Amino acid sequence: MSTIPGQVRLSWQDPVTGEQRSPLLTCPIAFGREFARMPAELNNHRVARIVLNSSQVSRYHTLIEWVQGHIRVTDQNSSNGTWVNGVLQPSCNVSNGDLLKIGPYEITLMFTLDGTGLPTAEASEQSIIQVPEPDSPVPAEPAAAPANVLPPACQAHQVVVQDLYATQLPVEEIDYLAVGAGLGSFIWVDFLRIFGAAPQQIRALGIENRPYARYQRLCLNSQIPPHERLRSNSDSCPDNIWGWPGYALREAWHEFNKGKLNPALQYLWQVFAEPTFAQTYTPRAGNVFASIDREAVRIGWPQIYQFGRVRAIRQTHDGRYAIAYSPGRKQTAFVVARYVHLATGYPVLQFLPDLKAYREQTRDFKSVVNAYEDHNHVYETLERQGGTVVLRGRGIVASRIIQRIHEARHRNSNIAILHLMRSPKPKGNRFRKAQRPVDNHFEFQPFNWPKACWGGTLRDELEQATPEQRTNLLADWGGTTTADRKDWKEIVQQGLDQGWYQITFGEVTRVVPNAQSRPTTYIQEKGPRGEIKLEADFIIDATGLDSKVKASPLLNDLVTHYNLPLNPAGRLAVANDFELLEMRNQNGRMYGAGAITFGGPYAAVDSFLGLQYTALRAVDGLVAARAPNLRRLNGIGSLLQWLKWAQNQAP
């Protein structure tokens, strides 16, 4: 609690990374795109300067001051204006709970005029939980533990390979090594194989033998069963580097062979007319997994994959990399490779601070859950005895949960959803001449980025931009969105009409158990109602995943040991071909892929198609570096490889 008048708790969700920010600052507070353009001092008071990255934000945009017992917001002649509670305001006094909109940033202001009783909030960085894992003989390290399982030979800046042999521990030498063995690794290995590398030259280290194992678990937990459709394009095919034939054509063909002409034509029409004249086609989860299984056998993945939890990565003195891993409990082994690819996915789940605090205080892990955890008990209980769910977050996962609860209502109509949103969403993000559509406070976009981020004008523009411009562009294109699905819109409209689905806006101040030990959410509404109380049986946090490098013990050790730079989003800094330039070691090369490289040259790193783009750039880089057995794939050679794919022959 604070006692200084003029103190304001700002709270917003970062449009680039989705992280929750909630600093407590003392007026005057300035907002703008350029730190140096904002005043350092005003009337002998030090100014708290907040940089908001977006081309919609002016260099010096808005000032918040403490004037004669009031908090006053004043626009600084910005190009796009300052909006308070949805109204354009050159200058006005604000009250507790008011919403400030500056470009794509929506900032809630919380304060008390005498400075007492301000809600406290945790720093977002601690508010994470581990990604659910299968039962494994080798447990993950606690996040803080250093790589102390390693022999002293590994503590050097560059290890000597003979020293590894001297430990008597198993050592394997190989050309190509993929760390993670998830989807990103699989796609890189697919490219290596098709570009000419043999299975004996490649090793993939991970803790699950199916490349999609972790992805599938996150899908199932977040309510995407095998027959449901994912959020990706027809030609985002992790099993096919050319993206042809896409899943729509395959599914249409399949239906056609079963004599079902109508669905076949519908899929083809969808890919033809999407997203303007038809709903975007997306493949069924089960079909994608089956196709990956086929490709895995074709490229020899079972031979390439090896179980192991990777503990540390070091350069060797002879221009390679030594990777220490645990093949079993309390065991250590090494792989030495010249070309290394890191794709370890999301290290942790983001968890709203108030919900995490609730779980820690009450030890109740059943009523308050994260959408990416296994939480089927919620739906089972609701189907049995009815109840109320408070839902937080408004992205695609929130949509899935609403759909799942709608299904549960067929079994028990006594179920209600209170959808808690931080602020109304009357209008979508703007980028130059374009604007994102909105309906019922949901912002729509077919995929998690505007389409041209994968291979169009926006990809080009981001790659050419400076690091600072990149952050601006990502803020303009980013933000939470869901897919424009007809069934979802109908469910929401029906729920609103029938009253079992309600949207409430406000900033959560605390979540505490009530007398019946049910989680009760207190929220700060703007206007006279002030604090209101929401009682529920369950709270589901559907706000997201976190991929900050510091959250992964493996990456954190790598970054600290080699003093690697991070990009402005706090992820690994990579070159345009995804090489970690600072890790280059004579002929040795190290590349990154997936969420751990977000914030750099490419927006859609965490997607099937993005992983294929990344792998293509990285393997092209390896061809240029004359890595063994790789040949550039193009023209007739590419066509011949595709024919092998079509006939299910090894590359």
Ligand X SMILES: Cc1cc2nc3c(=O)[nH]c(=O)nc-3n(C[C@H](O)[C@H](O)[C@H](O)COP(=O)(O)OP(=O)(O)OC[C@H]3O[C@@H](n4cnc5c(N)ncnc54)[C@H](O)[C@@H]3O)c2cc1C
Q: List residues binding other proteins (CB under 8 A).
A: 235, 241-245, 271-277, 428, 431-437, 445-446, 450-452, 454-460, 613, 616, 633-636, 638-639, 642
Which partner, ligand X, other proteins, none, binds residue 450 by CB below 5 to 8 Å per kind? other proteins
Under DSSP, the state recorded for 312 is: E
Smallest distance, other proteins to C-beta of residue 266, A: 15
How many amino acids of this chain bind ligand X (CB under 6 A)?
32
Of 222, 399, 585, 597, which one interacts with ligand X (CB under 6 A)? 222
* Count of other CB atoms within 10 angstroms of residue 645: 21
Q: Which amino acid is at 523?
A: I
Output the smallest distance, CB 100 to ligand X, in A: 31
CB of 295 to ligand X, least distance (A): 15
Instruction: Specify whether the CB–CB gap between 62 and 74 falls below 8 A.
Output: yes
Instruction: Note whether 211 and 184 are within 8 A (CB).
Output: no
Q: Which is nearer to ligand X, 294 or 632 (CB)?
A: 294
Per-residue binding string, ligand X, 327-366, x by CB under 6 A, is ----------------xxx---------------------
Residue 77: which of ligand X, other proteins, none does it interact with, CB under 5 to 8 A by kind? none
Q: How far is the CB of 211 from ligand X (least distance, A)?
A: 7
Helix (H) or strand (E) holding 637: helix 635-646
Question: At closest approach, how far in Å is the CB of 271 from other proteins?
Answer: 7
For residues 67 and 6, is the Cβ–Cβ distance under 8 A?
no
Task: Using alpha carbons, select from 93, 110, 29, 23 the residue that is nearest to residue 64.
Answer: 29
Least Cβ distance, residue 268 to other proteins (angstroms): 10
Near ligand X by CB under 6 A: residue from 403, 607, 612, 641: 607
Nearer to other proteins, 128 or 474 (CB): 474
CB under 5 to 8 A by kind: which of ligand X, other proteins, none does 436 bind? other proteins
DSSP 8-state code for residue 594? G
Side-chain half-sphere exposure of 543, counting CA atoms within 13 A: 29
CB proximity list for 615: less than 8 A, separation 6 or greater: 184, 187, 188, 190, 191, 241, 593
CB of 594 to ligand X, least distance (A): 3
Instruction: Give the shortest CB-210-to-ligand X separation in angstroms.
Output: 9
- Residue 253 partner contact from ligand X, other proteins, none using kind-dependent CB cut-offs of 5 to 8 Å: none
Query: CA-CA distance, 401 to 382, in Å (whole number)?
Result: 13
Q: Per-residue contact track with ligand X, 174 to 213, x per CB under 6 A?
A: ------xxxxxx-------------------xxxx-----
Query: Minimal distance in Å, beta carbon 384 to other proteins?
Result: 43
Considering the complex, state which of residue 204 and residue 475 has its C-beta at the smaller distance from ligand X: 204
The minimum distance between CB 554 and ligand X, in angstroms, equals: 4
Q: Which residues of 532-564 are buried (b: 16+ CB within 10 A; e: fewer)?
A: eebebbbbbbbbbbbbbbbbbbbbbbbbebbeb
DSSP notation for 412-448: -S-EEEEEEESS---S--EETTEE--EETTEEB-SSS
- Residues 540-579: x/- map of binding to ligand X (CB under 6 A)? -----x--------x-------------------------
- Element of type H or E holding 406: helix 396-411
**Are the CB atoms for 559 and 549 separated by under 8 Å?**
yes
Q: Are strands 538-541 and 387-392 parallel, antiparallel or unpaired?
A: parallel
Are the CB atoms for 28 and 45 separated by under 8 Å? yes
Contact residue for ligand X among 606, 613, 616, 627 (CB under 6 A): 606
Among 219, 322, 355, 574, binds ligand X (CB under 6 A): 219
Out of other proteins, ligand X, none, what residue 409 binds, judged by CB under 5 to 8 A for its kind, is none
DSSP H stretches of helix in 195-274: 213-221, 247-257, 261-273
Closer to other proteins by CB, 274 or 373: give it: 274
Give the binding site for ligand X (CB under 6 A): 180-185, 205-208, 214-215, 218-219, 222, 230-232, 236, 309-310, 343-345, 545, 554, 594-595, 606-608, 611
